[in-house]
Chains A and B, each alone.
Chain A
Amino acid sequence: MKLTVWTYEGPPHVGAMRVATAMKGLHYVLHAPQGDTYADLLFTMIERRNHRPPVTYTTFQARDLGSDTAQLFQDACREAYERFKPEAIIVGASCTAELIQDDPGGMAETMGLPVPIIALELPSYQRKENFGADETFFQIVRHLARPVAKTDRMTCNLIGATALGYRHRDDIEELTGLLSDMGVEVNVCAPMGATPSDIARLGAAHFNVLMYPETGESACRWMERDLGLPFTKTVPIGVGATRDFIAEVAAITGLSPKVDESRLRLPWYSASVDSTYLTGKRVFLFGDGTHVKAAARIARDEMGFEVVGLGCYNREMARDIRAVAKDFGLTALITEDYLEVEAAIEAVAPEMILGTQMERHIGKRLGIPCAVISAPVHVQDFPARYSPQMGFEGANVIFDTWVHPLVMGLEEHLLHMFREDFEFHDDAGASHHGGKAVAAPEAVAEPVVAANTQTPAPQTGEVIWLSDAERELKKIPFFVRGKARRNTETFAQQKGLQEISVDTLYEAKAHYAR
């Protein structure tokens, strides 16, 4: 039993719903109690879908448990077929139905429906949403995809995009364009937009583009083995990763890796002098493994940030993320415990968080700017405008998104110079953000008692801040104060100091000057 406050991932049957809802001509019959239909609103409200997800729930109640829930399932399955006439049906159980052991898969297979029935085994008490999506799509592919003749023209499949995915809609468009520039056509994009008959002709492509390992890797591995389709290993998020991806596609296809980069603006925006202020910004990264891995590279190599902490919530990606962390000289935080993430962020006091909607809330509480890089999704993550993460336009979008929450260059200087000013005090925030500036609190004259200046201020960590030093620290603008505090404490610990005085503060400043 584990106490959970907020979760990064839903149960595995929600993953299966993400696949079913992304596809066309597929229906999901879910053995589930009344109430599990809440999941519909994730799709109709967060993603603003204009159709109900193609899911029939048996919605059994307590009174059904004594009688025949199995019959209820069979009725629901038959009626769903009659009403929706899908090309294929996936069947499974949610957490409660798993306990009553009705075996929906076995029952559905014996019903003699004239379409393929794909049974899902999604262990609700062990696994989570991403596993559910990955496993569901893998089972669909394994049941329906057959070896077929390759297309004459060079084609690929785009694999992994689902409903409720973080910017999946726009990533598909961006990659389709990029591949087309290289001379590669898309054979099938799946699960998003694919029908069961499209799945059957996946093998006609020459290779697979694995867009999201979280939801498409098992299927890609199976297709590599059973259909002879190689798949790309680089997820093209960021300038470097996009170029590596192009090189990978070129190596698989023998096509030229030369593509038009004229739309790509991130390199110049990052090099231009006004971006100098981004140098060494201390950032903390958290999200799903794929997006964190990509974001770490962008943060360091393309934005010039310092990555001070990173991690992911999906254990399936733990190995990858640990390797990335090692490369950055960090220890990866692999956890699904929101409070643990909050504590980690508080401890390293970054200047910016690149995280999920959950970290956005952490940032709000701690007063740290945050840009969102990954699912779990929120209605804000489905903007009306074109806003991909992948490819060259994705890099441009990421530059804008990450810079937006920060206090900008010249404004940063003004804050340094006029920090006592009524408009430029700590609580005023960046001027380009909404919200009314709060008037500076009236300065309360502190009685200065000579003897008092050496009394220890409240303790942070193991080193004690003397009150003089604490006051001096407050004079440093809020957006670098966390860094100053941390640097000084690290410096004091290295020097074996028990207390931090004003001198220690400036010694540390000199030590870390660059």
Chain B
Amino acid sequence: MSLDTALPKTGGCRETPVLKQRGQREVFCGLTGIIWLHRKMQDAFFLVIGSRTCAHLLQSAAGVMIFAEPRFGTAILEETDLAGMADAQDELDSVVAKLLSRRPDIKQLFLVGSCPSEVIKLDLARAAERMTQTYAPHVRVLNFSGSGIETTFTQGEDACLASMVPVLPTSEARELMLVGALPDVVEQQAIGLLTQMGIGPIRVLPAPRAADQFGVGDNTVFALTQPFLGDTHAALERRGARHIPAPFPFGEEGTTAWLAAIAEEFGVSQEVFDRVTAAPRDRARRAVAQASEMLRGKSVFFFPDSQLEIPLARFLTRECGMTAIEVGAPYIHQNIVGPDLDLLLEGPVLSEGQDVDLQLERCRAARPDLTVCGLGLANPLEAEGMATKWAIELVFTPVHFYEQAGDLAGLFSRPLRRRGLLKLEAAE
């Protein structure tokens, strides 16, 4: 297997010192991940043990209330729970009993820790163990923390997936595991390409249903589809599985490199690889070329949001002709995004964590052509005359692999195209 992905001549960003500042962080907490996780795992219920703030966040982040009874909810802690007048474990038992009797369709229940439940040290692991015994084999009960004091936005998905790893059965089978919650259509595309290369069986974590069980062990190899899965990565390695490091499958180049790493692991010949990927690669190149016309020669500034920033900066700079000024990420897992850092042309400031006021000052001074930021900052920056792209859309939209490469470029070019279209200046 050889790859025509050329490394930057001046060297990549793997050794670039990272700017770390401590101040106000304008980011979501890990509970937000429930919004997409509950759609992906169709027989799971996510029960947040938290405050009214947690419930309000979920409702606001979900945007619209589509479902009468969604598969997530909040057990809101009350004064009596905090004052020790009621045993919180007993209270939780009765909330869960009521919930499960009302919703017999639930096969997996996640008890999700929040800031208040962490601070009062409510032991959800113990609760999950107790409930598993009560409700087995019908319902499996797991726990993870989505609290803001421990997780930032997409780390909630990481914590959730990591909680599922220890309960996977042990298996010695040589299998490929794809890790990360992706929209079904995108997941099917990846599985389709890999299957055509003769790779299989392929397992996906998280599986859509609890019954779709599979094992893990020394012969399991896994590929991450999202860069924020550090804890899951560690949990899988503890079970003996081996990671296939690769750039993340964004854009034509990223997708090819990601597929190539897996193909190499499974001994797929160059000829087979080319035959399977040639047509979609060509389509992806053409789509990106067209969608990135507005982006060529423009600069981009990333505020930290989802940890997708480094792979996306690599895509925008290498495939869309943009220059990165600053690439901010909530956390940088060097060992996971390393291959992307190798490809990212030297130059941008890499920053981890945030002091939002200082970062805004840098952003205003740099006047980038496009700023990628959260919803709390987007309109205020637009009002200052800066073009922005909401970062959250990159998490909620199918953007992985070949067929979405053009859409991904389009997400970034649309704000610029829109500015060109609007003729709203007052007459002089």
Q: Return B101 CB to nearest CB of chain A, in Å.
A: 12
- Chain A residues near B374: list those with CB within 8 A: 41
Q: Is B357 an interface residue (CB 8 A)?
A: yes
B55 touches A125 (CB 8 A): no
- In the complex, whether A266 has a CB less than 8 A from a CB of chain B is no
* Chain A neighbourhood of B73, CB < 8 A: 3-5
Q: Using Cβ atoms and an 8 Å threshold, which residues of chain A touch B23?
A: 79
Q: Does A449 contact B (CB under 8 A)?
A: no
Q: A39 vs B51: C-alpha distance in the bound complex, in angstroms?
A: 14
Is residue A57 within 8 Å, beta carbon to beta carbon, of the partner chain? yes
Least CB distance from A3 to B in Å reads 5
Interface 0/1 of B146-161, CB less than 8 Å to A: 0111101000000000
> In the assembly, what is the distance between CA of A11 and CA of B55, in Å?
9
Cβ of A273 < 8 Å from any Cβ of B? Answer: no
Contact among B27, B51, B68, B378 with A34 in the assembled complex (CB-CB below 8 Å): B27
Q: How many whole Å from B351's CB to the nearest CB in chain A?
A: 16
Stretch among B111-119, B167-175, B265-273, B287-295 lining the A interface: B111-119
Q: Which residues of B contact A100 (CB under 8 A)?
A: 119
- Please, which residues of chain B bring their CB within 8 A of the CB of A14? 53, 56
Q: Is A99 an interface residue (CB 8 A)?
A: yes
**Shortest Cβ distance from A130 into chain B, in angstroms?**
12
Contacts of B382 in A (CB 8 A): 50
Asked whether B60 lies within 8 Å of A41 as measured between CB atoms, the reply is yes
Q: Say yes or no: A35 contacts B57, CB within 8 Å.
A: yes
B99 partner residues in chain A, CB cutoff 8 A: 3
* Contact with A83, one of B27, B52, B68, B357 (Cβ below 8 angstroms): B357
Q: Residues 125-140 of chain A: 1 if any B CB is under 8 Å from the residue's CB, otherwise 0?
A: 1101000000000000
Interface residues of B in 82-107 (CB under 8 A from A): 82, 86, 88, 91-92, 94-95, 98-99
Q: Which of A34, A123, A362 has the most CB of B within 10 A?
A: A34
User: Which residues of A (60-97) have their CB < 8 Å from a CB of B?
Assistant: 60-62, 64-65, 76, 79, 83, 94-96
Task: Assess the B379–A99 pair: CB atoms within 8 A.
Answer: no
Chain B residue total in the interface (Cβ 8 A): 63
| Shortest beta-carbon distance from A360 to chain B in Å | 9
Given A5-B70, A96-B119 in contact, is the A62-B150 Cβ separation under 8 Å? yes
Residue B28 lies at the interface, judged by CB distance under 8 Å to chain A: yes
> What's the least CB distance linking A378 to chain B, in Å?
8
Report if A423 contacts B (CB, 8 A): no
Contacts of A37 in B (CB 8 A): 24-28, 376
CB < 8 Å neighbour of A40 from B59, B68, B78, B376: B376
A346 to chain B, nearest CB (A): 11
**CB-based nearest A residue for B53:** A11
User: What is the 8 Å Cβ interface bit string for chain B, positions 32-63, against chain A (1 contact, 0 not)?
Assistant: 10000000000000010101110111011100
CA A11 to CA B53, docked complex, whole Å: 5
> Which A residue sits closest to B118, measured CB to CB?
A62
Report B391 CB to chain A, min CB distance, Å.
Answer: 12
A35 and B148 contact, CB distance less than 8 A: yes
Cβ A61 vs Cβ B149 within 8 A: yes
Decide if A33 is an interface residue (CB 8 Å cutoff): yes
Q: Which of B14-28 contact A (CB under 8 A)?
A: 23-28
A96 close to B76 (CB less than 8 A): no
Residue numbers in A under 8 Å from B26 (CB-CB): 37, 40
Q: In the complex, what residues of B have CB within 8 A of residue A57's CB?
A: 24
Shortest beta-carbon distance from B33 to chain A in Å = 12
CA distance A36 to B24 in the complex (A): 11
Task: Judge whether B69 is part of the interface by a CB distance below 8 angstroms.
Answer: yes
Would you call A49 and B149 a contact (CB within 8 A)? no
Q: Is the beta-carbon distance between A11 and B149 smaller than 8 angstroms?
A: no
Whether a CB of chain B sits under 8 angstroms from the CB of A342 is: yes
Q: Which chain B residues lie closer than 8 Å to A268 at the CB level?
A: none
Check A358/B383 contact, CB under 8 A, given A7-B59, A99-B82.
no
When distances are taken between beta carbons in the complex, the residues of chain A under 8 Å from B68 are 339, 342, 361-362, 365
**A513 CB-CB contact with B under 8 Å:** no
Smallest beta-carbon distance B113→chain A, Å: 11
Residues of chain A with a CB closer than 8 A to B61's CB: 38
Q: How far is the CA of A37 from the CA of B60 in the complex (A)?
A: 12
B65 touches A6 (CB 8 A): yes
Name A320-372 residues within 8 Å CB distance of B: 339, 342, 357-358, 361-362, 365
Query: Roughly how many angstroms separate A160 CA and B77 CA in the complex, as a whole number?
Result: 30
Q: Is A259 an interface residue (CB 8 A)?
A: no
Residues A125 and B25 in contact, CB atoms below 8 Å apart: no
Residue A242 lies at the interface, judged by CB distance under 8 Å to chain B? no
Q: Does A263 contact B (CB under 8 A)?
A: no
Chain B residues closer than 8 Å to A94, beta-carbon distance: 53
As a 0/1 sequence over residues 370 to 404 of chain B, the CB contacts with chain A under 8 angstroms (1 = contact) are: 00001111111011000000000000000000000
Complex Cα spacing A126 to B74, Å: 16
* Chain B residues, CB < 8 A from A64: 149
In the assembled complex, the CB of B390 is this many whole angstroms from the nearest CB of chain A, namely 9
In contact, B98 and A38 (Cβ under 8 angstroms) = no
B69, A45: Cβ atoms closer than 8 Å: no
Known: A37-B24, A41-B376, A96-B115. A128 touches B95 (CB 8 A): no
Closest A residue, CB atoms, query B80: A1
* B282, CB-defined interface residue at 8 Å: no
State whether A35 touches B31 (Cβ < 8 A).
yes
| Alpha-carbon separation in the docked complex, A57 to B148 (Å) | 13
Chain B residue, CB-CB nearest to A128: B52
Chain B residues with Cβ under 8 A from A128's Cβ? 52
Interface residue? B81 (CB, 8 A):
yes
Min CB gap A4→B, angstroms = 5
What is the minimal beta-carbon distance from B117 to any residue of chain A, in angstroms?
A: 10
Docked-complex contact A44 and B378, CB < 8 angstroms: yes
For the complex formed, measure the closest distance between the CB of B115 and the CB atoms of chain A, giving whole angstroms.
Answer: 4
The answer on a CB contact under 8 Å between B82 and A51 is no
A-B contact pairs, 26 of them (CB 8 A): A2-B75, A5-B70, A5-B73, A11-B53, A33-B115, A35-B30, A35-B57, A37-B376, A41-B374, A42-B60, A44-B376, A44-B379, A50-B380, A56-B24, A62-B150, A64-B149, A76-B24, A95-B115, A95-B116, A96-B116, A96-B149, A99-B120, A124-B51, A125-B51, A128-B52, A361-B66
Instruction: Give the 4 A-B residue pairs with the shortest CB-CB distance, closest first.
Output: A35-B29, A35-B148, A40-B376, A50-B383
- Given pairs A36-B29, A36-B53, A124-B51, 11 additional interface contacts (CB within 8 A): A1-B49, A3-B47, A3-B74, A5-B70, A10-B53, A33-B148, A34-B25, A38-B60, A49-B380, A50-B380, A62-B147
By a beta-carbon cutoff of 8 Å, the part of chain A in contact with chain B is 1-7, 9-11, 13-14, 33-42, 44-45, 48-52, 56-62, 64-65, 76, 79, 83, 94-96, 99-100, 123-126, 128, 339, 342, 357-358, 361-362, 365
